[in-house]
């Protein structure tokens, strides 16, 4: 399984702070497995993606396998 962690308002769109999805996942596979509103939101360039704590420069290059953690990160609201 792959853990998908949702931060900020993306957690509201998912209805949960984390989801478990079947491995493996690429960008298209991730979007297909998410609720439609969330899948649409994560295409917004302001929303960033990290895999195992490392930010992806190019979301479309996502390649996650079993045991990986994907984080979906909306713009920060600061401290």
Partner 1 sequence: MAAHVPMRDIRLLDQMFLPGMLIGPFTQANKGLGGVCTFVGEVRLDQGVEALELTHYEPLTLSGMHDLADRAFARFELMGLLMVHRIGLMRPGEPIVCVSAAALHRRDAIDAVDFCMDHLKSAAWFWKREKRAGEWHWIEPRAQDAVDLARWHS
* CB-nearer residue toward partner 1: 32 or 62: 62
- Determine the Cα–Cα distance for residues 67 and 42; give it in Å rounded to an integer: 21
Stretch that binds partner 1, among 26-34, 35-43, 47-55, 57-65 (CB under 8 A): 47-55
Residue 52 interacts with partner 1 (CB under 8 A): yes or no: yes
For 50-72, b/e burial (b = at least 16 CB within 10 A) is: ebeeeebeebeebebeeebebbb
Which of 1, 9, 18, 43 is the binder for partner 1 (CB under 8 A)? 9
Residue 71 interacts with partner 1 (CB under 8 A): yes or no: yes
């Amino acid at each position: 399984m792959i853990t998908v962690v949702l931060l900020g308002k993306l957690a509201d769109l998912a209805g949960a702070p984390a989801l478990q999805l079947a491995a493996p996942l690429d960008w298209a596979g991730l979007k297909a497995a998410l609720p439609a509103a969330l899948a649409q939101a994560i295409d917004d360039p302001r929303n960033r993606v990290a895999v195992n704590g490392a930010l992806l420069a190019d979301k479309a290059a996502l390649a996650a396998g079993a045991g990986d953690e994907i984080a979906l990160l909306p713009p920060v609201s600061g401290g």
